[in-house]
A and B are shown apart, each in its own frame.
Chain A
Amino acid sequence: METVIKQHKPATLWRELSVIWALIMRDIMHTIKSPGTIIFSLVMPIVMMGMIGGNLTQNMAGGLGFDFGKFMLIGMMVNMLFMTTGNGVAELVDDHESNFCEEMLVAPCSRYALVIGKILGSWLPALVSMLGAVVVGAIMGISLSISQFLIIIALSPLICLVAGAMAVVPIGLIKNRRAANMVTMLLVTPQMFLCGAIIPIGNSSGILWLISRILPMTYSLDLTRAAVFAGTPEFDSVVLFNPAISLAATVAIAIVCLVVGTFFYARSEKNR
């Protein structure tokens, strides 16, 4: 028998990146092989954007001083990234139930690589959802320029990272798919309303102001809108913070949630 002996490569950043890449590819394979996921990713924007957004566009567009349709479209695109990534991260529970997590946890790689890979693996279905929002927006007569669209695509991995990291914190502790779905919904849906995805929050005060400043989606939304509306007269009406602040807050929240979430995930598997 001539079995090839392959020695382990040294533990390097490159190796961790390779693990992240493998996890991303695994989720891409899942998405490609599951037409249901793609259809669901496209149907969600129709419900969210077409029904809620359409109603708001017709009733709120006047007197705001900016293009509400575009404002809402960007909000929905970011919301779709959050929602789909959160659902993707909830698949960690599926891996636990199917014992596949054991295969990952016994591997000599960083737990961070496993979690980051899982989050970024949800990027493709999240992009599909986001594209769904763009298509529905186009049907409603709301459009983005190619450069604006590309800017959002460029920001999408960071947005998915913060959304996924936020979702890992509770999901790392949950071992039941139904509970994970509920938690994901509870995490994302309130943010859609409280962070300004579809309703402007420039005039929020009191507790609503405070909540909007705590929630991660606020900064992701503001960063995206700042990038899209940069150089336009509407910038000051639409954007809440200096883009550098939004970027710093987004990165900081992603890092904190990633550290805490990965700790919970690894700990809950090991400390039973």
Chain B
Amino acid sequence: MSVIEVKNLVKQYRGAKSPSVDNISFSVEQGEFFAFLGPNGAGKTTTISILTTTLSKTSGAAKIAGLDTNKDARKVREHIGIISQNPSLDVNLTAEENIRFHAALYGLYGYRPSFKLMPKAYKKQVGELAEIVGVGDALFKPVKKLSGGMQRKFEIIRSLVHTPEVLFLDEPTQGLDTVSRRELWEYINSVREQFGTTVFLTTHYIDEAEHATNVCLINNGKIAFCGSPDEMKRTIAYDPTPKVCLPTLEDAYIEFLSKTKEAV
């Protein structure tokens, strides 16, 4: 069953001469790890913004769990979580206050003035998530005093508190060190296994998409390729003889970009 369906989606920003997303179509199955790759300005974040209901589309269809992202925006929001490209924590609050605020916005727990007054289930959940991502000690520190990587980890905790069915990760590991990146992926994979969460990833670290179920390449607003990582390695590398394939997805991606430049 497709949990994300995009059909002939077009987005042209006001005043722009050409569309940022130009008639793209793809679908993502439930529980899938879907990587949406492309160079800067290709249309990845625009697509994610439409799917997460924060941006209107110009035409076409975008559905999450069968719900239209425009007409049923509020219901769509019940199903999704997002870690956005840019940091979005309130730097004037502590990390835990940010998570508490998020839990209240999602109707999980009523907001209480201090952590101590929150229900046991909340304390347990936040404590566990913080330990897993390795930020337990920093839970009550002001966000403005945390490093960029640490802030990213708290954004991850925040996005998972309401256990979304579809998790949008827009360059989630930007600014994280190698160890933190590995820990984060271990955790995201365990969440996928445990809850069947669908993961929609955009990243510039192509190795992170190596184990994706499917990969979509977008360039200049158009879909250039959709298929499994192995298919991509074969198709892009030595087209039109698909029997040989490049060793890594990153090689295939670089090959794709160089071919695109040549074509231009």
Contact = CB atoms under 8 A, between A and B. Distances in A.
A11 B107 contact: yes
A22 B194 CA distance: 30
A9 B108 contact: yes
A98 interface: yes
B123 to A, nearest CB: 10
A108 B111 contact: no
A213 interface: no
B111 A4 contact: no
Contacts of B121: 4, 6
20 contacts: A3-B125, A6-B103, A6-B161, A6-B163, A8-B107, A9-B108, A15-B107, A22-B100, A30-B93, A98-B90, A99-B86, A100-B89, A102-B54, A106-B77, A106-B82, A108-B74, A270-B54, A270-B55, A272-B13, A272-B14
B163 A3 contact: yes
B87 A1 contact: no
Interface in A91-113: 98-100, 102-110
Given A6-B162, A106-B80, 18 more contacts: A1-B190, A3-B160, A3-B163, A3-B191, A8-B107, A8-B162, A9-B107, A25-B101, A25-B113, A30-B93, A98-B91, A99-B87, A100-B89, A102-B54, A102-B82, A102-B84, A103-B102, A272-B13
A1 B107 contact: no
B145 to A, nearest CB: 12
Contacts of B90: 26, 98, 100, 103
B254 interface: no
B104 A29 contact: no
Given A26-B93, A100-B89, A272-B55, A1 B105 contact: no
Interface of A: 1-6, 8-9, 11, 15, 18-19, 21-22, 25-26, 29-30, 33-34, 98-100, 102-110, 269-272
B56 interface: yes
B127 to A, nearest CB: 10
A230 B133 CA distance: 61
A108 B101 contact: no
A20 to B, nearest CB: 10
B22 interface: no
Given A102-B84, A108-B77, A270-B54, A8 B105 contact: no
A267 B73 CA distance: 13
B124 interface: yes
B110 interface: yes
A6 B75 CA distance: 17
Contacts of B62: none
Given A25-B113, A270-B54, A99 B88 contact: yes
Interface in B37-69: 52-56
B128 interface: yes
B244 interface: no
Nearest to A99: B88
